[in-house]
Amino acid sequence: MNKIDYQKGDIVKMKKKHPCGSDTWEILRVGMDFGIKCCGCGHYVMMPRPKFEKMAKDIVKKTDE
């Protein structure tokens, strides 16, 4: 199983859609918890790393940090 290196500023596609209809999220915080913001409506959510890694499908746009 490959570990994906997520960085602050990456745009990630999730498995489930947000109620607003968007399935892309921007990563604002990386650590034991992930802080992500919906690209559709701007809703901010904090979730534990294992849950985030399970729900993330792929990286849409990678940041150049």
- The confidence score (pLDDT) of residue 11 equals 95
37: domain range? Answer: 11-61
Token digits of residue 34 = 């992930």
Query: Confidence band (pLDDT; 50, 70, 90) for 2?
Result: low
Asked, for residue 1, whether it belongs to a domain, the answer is no
Q: How far apart are CA 33 and CA 51, in angstroms?
A: 9
The domain total for the chain is 1
pLDDT value for 23: 94
Residue 46 has pLDDT above 60, yes or no: yes
Distances from the Cα of 62 to the Cα of 7, 13, 19, angstroms: 8, 12, 25
The verdict on residue 39 lying in a domain is: yes
Q: For tokens 């901010």, what's the residue?
A: 44
Structure tokens at 3: 């570990």
User: What are the pLDDT digits (tens) for 23-45?
Assistant: 999 999 999 999 999 999 999 99
